[in-house]
A and B are shown apart, each in its own frame.
Chain A
Amino acid sequence: MYLLSQSAKYIFIFLLLLFAIRDYTFLIKKDEEKKKRILGSQIRVLFLTTLLGFSLILLNSFSIMNAFLLAGILLYFGITLVCYRLIYPRASMLLVNNMLMLLSIGFIMITRLNSSQGLKQFIIAAGGTVIAFIVPVIIRKLRVLSSLTWLYAAIGILALLGVLALARISGGAKLSISVGGITIQFSELVKITFVFFLAAKLSADISFRSVAVATAVAAIHVGILVLSTDLGTALVFFVAYLVIVYVATRRPLYPVAGLIAGSAASVGAFHLFSHVKQRVVAWKDPFSVYDTSGYQIVQGLFAIGAGGWFGTGLYLGKPTTIPVATKDFIFAAICEEFGTVFCICLLLVCMSMYLLIVSLSMTIQNRFYRLVSIGLGTEYAFQVFLTVGGVTKFIPMTGITLPLVSYGGSSVISTIIMLAIIQGLYILREDESAA
């Protein structure tokens, strides 16, 4: 068993490295035959990784449920890959591959930490993917999407106010609502409406007045999020806003002014809100506040350090000692058992996702669609940066999950839908140009 885990960790690294390299060669390669082969080899890596990971899980803690879970996951991957080819042959298959690979790593790590959460994650991801298949159709049919500007703003602000009220009542502990056993995190939904609002507003009009209005609405979103202590999401919104405004106006002055205003606001927030201050203190010297706000980050750092370059091997580390290991700190858990090299490859995959989304966006002609696409992609990329940076003590911890990898229903569904929207817009663009 020990020997297996030991050898497996090097195989995992090799597989993910291969996958990441394929991501980049795909972006460079022009030859369609070669691209097809790259996609094929990535799919093989995906299945191998999943099989190897779950073999170790089954060997270490055999249960019928885990066996079914493996079968379910393989079936889900297979069906997703086939369906995309049948229904949306023009979708970016590279994006699909990346999404499934990240989900696979998440499934393995979550199931290893907590197998019932692994099962839940799988069900949610599969459900999300079913919705994802409908999304391009909705986009195609609903031509009015770009004119619902104020509806998006209204939904976003109302939903966030709901969260704020909830946070106030529960003393900042709860940021979600449970309905019939399913936890809904409204900020995840608002991530989408927020981008839609900005895209709609700025695709129609990029006059100074319009930008000012967009800025005001964005500031309300971000402000409510800061008040409800959801700093991570607030930052994600802020950066998405900067990028969308920049891409829409092509004026570097706007994002630069935005950055300056944002920095000033952060300094203000630091002095005004104790929860912001706490995070900064815990970042600067987590050991000084070990018993309180520094505890999580210190446990995460111990895990990353214990893993070293190549990791301890699956089941040979102690990632269960990390608080919220399946959610905010999943990156630390992966670092511990899969190693830093593996995690760097994981970051390479996330980075290629973003580059891919940007390059997909560039080929979309419709301004509104293009801004939506780039906005959603930016939210994804910046969320990865915040969570990984926070866990590794590169930046203060903002309490946000690693998209697709972390356990969490709303986050997984919203990310899958975000990617589906990007796919939908991309497919539409392929339609427009089909010669």
Chain B
Amino acid sequence: MRKRKPKQTDLGPDVFPGMTDAGIGSDAPDDLYDTDGFPDEDLYDYDEEDDDLTDEDLYAALRRGEDDFDEDDEEEEDDAFDDRDDSYAPAEGRRRIRDSGPYLFISISFALIFLLLMGHLVYFNLKMKDEILNSPYNRRQNAQADLVRRGRILSSDGMTLARTETDDEGNESRVYPYANEYAHVVGYTTHGKSGLESIANYQLLTSHSNIIDQIINEFLKRKSPGDDVVSTLNAGLQDAAWSALGDYRGAVVVLNPKTGAVLAMVAKPNFDPNTLAYVWDDMVSDPTNSQLVNRATQGLYPPGSTFKIITALTYYRLHHTFDGFDYECTGEFTIDDLTVHCYKGAVHGVEDLTYAFAHSCNTAFSQLGLDLGISRLSNTALKMLFNEPMPIELNASRSRWQLTSDSSDIDLVQTAFGQGKTLVTPLHMALISAAIANDGVLMKPYLIDHVQNTSGDVISRTKPSAYRTLLTKDEAEGLTTLMEAVVNEGSGNELSGRSYQVAGKTGSAEYTKSDGTIGTHSWFIGFTNPDDPDLAFAILAENGGAGSTTAVPIASSILRSYYGE
């Protein structure tokens, strides 16, 4: 790349009158630099004393051979350079830099980094933008609401769970056709946002409709339609869970153990998101009101006998089998000041671990806990998401594991059969079931199946991803056998003999009511079809009594509806 002769346009009259054109185009005085090979010093000294005349000489000299002597200076004896010198006879257009290589190289390098920057900007807009804007820290989203009409939230089977209606005057209102049924999981948009309305806020306020339409809309100050969010929630299953839970306070969580898709999430009591704005102040000012609490993810309950899964798993981890544990249940187990009874005064007699698990024998698990010890039990529990944030975008409580090395034997024994100070959320128990069903691998639970624009084109789809391996495949299979025994011969017997196999664990968790009397929460957790699991669930009915009397029938009703019996 040779530079051309300087352009003519800008060549006006000489600004510096001292400058003449002498020396230009004339033969360069070779002797100026050939003598010592390095004439710069002399030249510059000269320069200072006598301005104009020397300038010309200097320039002429530089023009002729500056670059040459740069090289000569280093490699005077080099023949190759001499040859090149010959090819550059002093002549008229010798005003260019002889070797433009470095210039070309740095020009290309810098052009390249600039192009990289531009490429990065394009990439940012195409790929990174959505994820970044969706950050909960982003307070700009709400400005989008002025440009985009909030999209709909749909169930996976096409039901509208939330939509925005605009009246003739342009006032918008958010409508929830199912009112209370999806209150917690779909959420609300008054007084902040919750549930899917919060998780999918960015997608709902982003329009991927035709770009031309969007530009036209912008000009007409008309709102573009936001994208629709299709949730993983199955309206049929949600209906079944909703009616099965009936008037109980509590929660039902159902998910697909193989993907982590949340299929149903019911929590009672709840609220009507359509009218929430009117009752908000009353609700918030009443400290005893817990309608806004999503019991499925935020409710903390003693796990009751469902915790025996963890205790049994700890035994398996120690012995690599469930065999070898034999115990005679007399209906009573005493340690220090504590006497443990089996539920409703049952006496189970001589039993192995499977029998004790299936019939939920408290005395056997008290002994088992004592045998295993605090540290083993703690190890297992802490690897099962206790004291950890739940891997879900909804607001969820951490389950609490409060057994420490300082805890007493009484605490240990109570914890081992599910009482004590341990507290869990229904979501957590559903995730444990799901992990057992899925060969020990917990899939990350998610609520958004895909996002589509108003024409139904899919914009993005959630890819199921493994969250963590909670237990080994062997351990999962072992526990499945125990949980199948619960249904086939134990406390979950009501669910046996169906067209689908159920594996589960009941729980009857005692708690102290506000009036000081003892109440019992009814639990049932588990999954269906262990060979190819399709549902994993956790059911909790507050003060519902024994697991088998309330939670199991609720499960039964949900499963009957789902499997179409």
Contacts and interface: CB of A to CB of B under 8 A. Distances in A.
Interface in A322-376: 335, 340, 343-344, 347-348, 350-351, 354-355, 358-359, 361-363, 365-367, 370, 374
Contacts of A378: 106, 110
Nearest to A363: B3
A35 B4 CA distance: 15
A432 B21 CA distance: 8
B51 interface: yes
Contacts of A91: 10
A140 interface: yes
Most buried by A among B7, B25, B106: B106
Contacts, number: 189
B110 A318 contact: no
A354 B117 CA distance: 15
B133 A90 contact: no
Contact of A318 (B4, B16, B107, B140): B140
Interface in B84-128: 95-97, 99-103, 105-107, 110-111, 113-114, 116-118, 120-122, 124-125, 128
B100 to A, nearest CB: 6
In this complex, the interface size class of chain B, counting residues with CB under 8 Å from chain A, is 35 or more
Contacts of A362: 3, 96-97, 100, 103
Given A3-B221, A247-B102, A434-B11, A206 B70 contact: yes
7 contacts: A3-B219, A6-B219, A90-B15, A247-B103, A348-B118, A351-B114, A355-B111
Contacts of B14: 431, 434
Interface stretch (A63-71, A74-82, A121-129, A296-304): A296-304
Contacts of B74: 206-207
A292 interface: no
A166 interface: no
Contact of A347 (B66, B99, B117, B138): B117
A347 B121 CA distance: 11
Q: Is the interface of A mostly helix, strand, loop or mixed?
A: helix
B143 interface: yes
Contacts of B114: 347-348, 350-351, 354, 381, 384-385
Given A89-B12, A304-B129, 11 more contacts: A36-B9, A147-B44, A246-B105, A247-B102, A250-B102, A301-B132, A347-B121, A358-B103, A367-B70, A374-B106, A431-B19
B135 A287 contact: yes
A361 B47 contact: no
A35 B120 CA distance: 32
B526 to A, nearest CB: 37
B6 interface: yes
B140 A321 contact: yes
A92 interface: yes
A200 B105 CA distance: 22
Contacts of B513: none
A308 interface: yes
Contacts of B21: 434-435
Q: Is the interface of B mostly helix, strand, loop or mixed?
A: helix
Given A88-B15, A250-B101, A243 B106 contact: yes
Nearest to A345: B118
A50 B9 CA distance: 27
Contacts of A207: 73-74
A146 B103 CA distance: 21
Contact of B137 (A87, A298, A335, A365): A298
B342 interface: no
A389 interface: yes
Interface string B273-314: 000000000000000000000000000000000000000000
B63 interface: yes
Contacts of B139: 321
A90 B402 CA distance: 82
A220 B10 CA distance: 41
A293 B51 CA distance: 56
B10 A363 contact: no
Most buried by A among B4, B14, B41, B113: B113
Given A302-B133, A350-B114, A392-B121, A358 B12 contact: no
Interface in B168-208: none
Contacts of A355: 107, 110-111
Contacts of B135: 287, 298, 302
Interface string B15-52: 11001010011000000000000001100100110010
A93 B10 contact: yes
Contacts of A62: none
Interface of A: 2-3, 6-7, 30, 32, 35-36, 87-93, 140, 143-144, 146-147, 203-204, 206-207, 243, 246-247, 250, 252, 287, 290, 298, 301-306, 308-309, 318, 321, 335, 340, 343-344, 347-348, 350-351, 354-355, 358-359, 361-363, 365-367, 370, 374, 378, 381-382, 384-385, 388-389, 392-394, 427, 429-435
B47 A143 contact: yes
Given A143-B48, A432-B59, A35 B7 contact: yes
Contacts of A430: 6, 10-11
A385 B117 contact: yes
* A-B pairs, 4 with minimum CB distance: A89-B12, A351-B114, A32-B9, A305-B129
B16 A140 contact: yes
B24 to A, nearest CB: 5
A7 B105 CA distance: 41
Contacts of A433: 6, 24, 95
A90 B15 CA distance: 9
Given A347-B117, A351-B114, A362-B100, A247 B15 contact: no
A90 B12 contact: yes
Contacts of A144: 48
Given A6-B219, A35-B9, A305-B129, A365 B59 contact: yes
Contact of B11 (A90, A246, A393): A90
Most buried by A among B100, B113, B117: B117
Contacts of B8: 32
A361 to B, nearest CB: 7
Contacts of A7: 219
B62 A305 contact: no
B62 to A, nearest CB: 5
Nearest to B211: A309
Given A363-B96, A388-B117, A305 B132 contact: yes
Given A302-B132, A430-B6, A309 B125 contact: yes
B13 interface: yes
A137 B232 CA distance: 74
B323 interface: no
B52 to A, nearest CB: 11
A270 B74 CA distance: 38
A246 B99 CA distance: 13
B457 interface: no
A40 B71 CA distance: 43
B218 interface: yes
A434 B6 CA distance: 9
